Amino acid sequence: MHEMGIVSSVLDAVHRVAEKNPGRRPSKVGLRIGEWAGVDLESLRFCFDALAPSEGFRDLDLEIDYRYRQNRCQRCGLEFRVKDYEIQCPSCLSDNTIPAGGEELDIAWVELQE
């Protein structure tokens, strides 16, 4: 539901990159989005396609690097994907594991064309 606001923040950031790099045109923006970021990807793409042209970006592509929920085992150090909320370490079976990713909502990179 807040995907429009997210897209708007992303486009603001791309505008700032463009201002700092005169003569070059942003062609693609990469986002890193975690499974628990609370973002609906389809809705995000829809909002991006709707908003980007009106913000002056006619040919800007969107690439999403989707990150699954990860936990790190405090005993053996293994990082593993958390499926079905099972936080037990699949290697040493310890329950002492802590979140280590999957909440990202980051602008990772912007590609610039000459």
Question: Does residue 31 come out as left (phi exceeding 0), alpha (psi in the -120 to 50 range) or beta?
Answer: beta
Based on CB atoms, which residue is closest to another protein, 28 or 78? 28
Out of 15, 24, 72, 81, which residue is the one contacting another protein (CB under 8 A)?
24
Instruction: Give CA–CA dist 49/102, Å, rounded.
Output: 25
The two tokens of residue 27 are: 């062609």
d(CA 114, CA 109): 16
Span interacting with another protein, options 3-11, 52-60, 70-78, rule CB under 8 A: 3-11
Q: What is the dihedral of CA 39, 42, 48, 49, to 10 degrees?
A: -170
Phi-psi region of 11 (alpha: psi -120 to 50; beta: other; left: phi over 0): alpha
Q: Does 81 bind another protein (CB under 8 A)?
A: no
**Position 106 contacts another protein (CB under 8 A):** yes
Provide the minimum distance between the beta carbon of 113 and another protein in the complex, in angstroms, as a whole number.
6
- Determine if 13 is a binding residue for another protein (CB under 8 A): yes
Using CB under 8 A, list all residues that contact another protein. Answer: 1-2, 5-6, 9-10, 12-13, 17, 21, 24, 27, 30-31, 36-39, 85, 87, 99, 103, 105-114
